[in-house]
Amino acid sequence: MTAERRYFGTDGVRGRVGEPPITPDFIMKLGWAAGRVLGRSGRGKVLIGKDTRISGYMFESALEAGLSAAGVDIHLLGPMPTPGVAYLTRTFRAQAGIVISASHNPFEDNGIKFFSGEGTKLPDEVELEIEDELDQAMTTVASSELGKAHRVEDAAGRYIEFCKSTFGNGHSLRGLKLVVDCANGATYHIAPAVFTELGAEVHAIGTRPDGLNINEECGATAPRRLAEEVTRSGADLGIAFDGDGDRVIMVDHAGEIVDGDELLFIIARERQRRRAGDQAVVGTQMSNLGLEHAVRTLGLEFYRARVGDRYILEMLREGGWQLGGEGSGHIICLDLNSTGDGIVSALQVLGAIVDSGQPLHELKQGMRKYPQRLINVELSERVDLETLPPVQAALAGVEAELGDRGRVLLRPSGTEPVVRVMVEGQDAAQVETLARQLADAVTAAIAS
């Protein structure tokens, strides 16, 4: 077995459409290889969902062909948020679920990610088995054994009912006016229905996907339009999802953005009030220091995983905990769904608003955010920063100046060709200066 992944990253296989490995022929063989591995325990079924980018149709057909050639039945969900695919994979007792999505990336990108039959990310060893199978010549089972394809007509309705069930019996959103931004992505036909059916007055934006406008100046990665719409319409708050629906960012009535760290704190505090039995919250290396301090005031431990929901999930399972997330809006409530779920997470925050009678603007005050500056330095190729003495010297200098009054993090992205430079501290001007100083050092070292 190969010792190192060649195609799978931290979130499946992802890249620019038309460039290897995100090509129709490779995706067909990926479907075949996955079918061969997943089908070893007997003939079963695999669910396929996708977001709204135009290439999704092409890759859905490619996966369908590959899986069928391997003798695996396919159930097509159509446009479906990533957490919806995870949920339906469990309820259908499928062998696996596949999502065709590049999440928050622009439409020119796409990717394939897999869920196990339990609705969790595939174990590393299974991904490696699939990569090994990709080295084999593609074959086709006998015609009588070819996989059959079925379209699941009520997939959206099933997931809508699941989301509503996480809000609690007897609860209602009556009296709340919400602006919901679906990023022209996979939640466009689901999120507005969830909040409307729970009683809210909903003004939906980003619900007209055309295959090219997913995440384009909208959604969780660009909430400015949502903030403008909230203040213009006099709404109580706004909710923004990303293209595949596993992230959520909110905007309060004053148009102020409430990020994933603040939402995670609100949910943790509400769960403590309800005596949910949580002992810890898991964030990441990028989580704001203010979140760590606020969580500890609740009597909870706070742990930092590597950046990425995959690693948050791993730490939650290892510790036997339920709640984790990151500032980008990936929030995981493991007792509700097996992966990060933007709609479900939003409902937990709305539950806190309804039960407390306090607006979002007030609820977020329990956490004081430290000034934080993140700069992405673009790379032409991957580099090992630890082998660059000027970068290490600059890093040591910034850490020495911050002392115990802040944090610095320097790491390559797992999904983009960039190095992330993050500096956090008590003084905003100092944070900005030090972040720029370190980013400049990285840029100069890479160029030399």
The last residue of a domain, from among 120, 153, 186 = 153
Which pLDDT score, from 0 to 100, does residue 415 have? 66
Give the pLDDT confidence of 352-378 residue by residue, as tens digits.
Answer: 999 999 999 999 999 999 999 999 998
Residues 56-85: pLDDT tens digits?
A: 999 999 999 999 999 999 999 999 999 999
Tell whether 184 and 148 lie within a shared domain.
Answer: no
Confidence of residue 2 (pLDDT cuts 50, 70, 90): very low
Split at pLDDT 50, 70, 90, the class of 267 is very high
Same domain, 102 and 167: no
Q: Which domain covers residue 436, as residue numbers?
A: 372-447
Residue with tokens 């949502």: 226
> Do 190 and 322 sit in the same domain of this protein?
yes
pLDDT in tens, 374-412: 999 988 777 788 888 999 999 999 999 998 888 999 988
| 163 shares a domain with 301 | yes
Q: Examine the domain organization and report whether 233 and 86 are in the same domain.
A: no
Residues 256 and 400 in one domain: no
Query: What pLDDT is stored for residue 1 in this prediction?
Result: 38
Together in a domain, 259 and 342 = yes
Q: What pLDDT score does 123 carry?
A: 87
Burial class (CB in 10 A: 0-12, 13-18, 19+), 118: exposed
Token pair of 224 as six digits: 């400015």
Torsion over CA of 139, 144, 147 and 148, rounded to 10 degrees? 150
Which one-letter DSSP state was computed for residue 323? E
Query: What burial letters (b/e) apply to 302-333, b meaning 16+ CB within 10 Å?
Result: bbbbebbbbbbbbbbeeeebbbbbbbbbbbbb
Residue 386: the pLDDT is: 85
CATH number of the CATH domain containing 27: 3.40.120.10
State how far the Cα of 263 lies from the Cα of 135, in Å rounded to an integer.
44
**Same domain, residue pair 353 and 386:** no
347, pLDDT greater than 90:
yes
Indicate whether 52 and 23 sit together in one domain: yes
Q: CA-to-CA distance for 34 and 176, rounded, in angstroms?
A: 45
pLDDT in tens, 129-140: 999 999 999 999
Q: Is the pTM of this model over 0.85?
A: yes
287 is catalytic: no
Q: Which residue has the tokens 């005596």?
A: 275
Sign of CA dihedral 290, 291, 293, 298: positive
Q: Which pLDDT band, with edges at 50, 70 and 90, does 9 fall under?
A: confident
192 lies in some domain: yes
Number of domains within the chain? 3
**What confidence tier does 447 reach under pLDDT thresholds 50, 70, 90?**
confident
Of the candidates 103, 116, 328, 338, the residue annotated as catalytic is 103
Same-domain status, 69 and 167: no
The pair phi, psi for residue 241, each rounded to 5°, is: -110, 165
Q: What is the pLDDT of residues 20-55, one digit of tens each?
A: 999 999 999 999 999 999 888 777 899 999 999 999
Q: What is the CATH number of the domain that holds 382?
A: 3.30.310.50
How far apart are the two ends of the chain, measured CA to CA in Å? 38
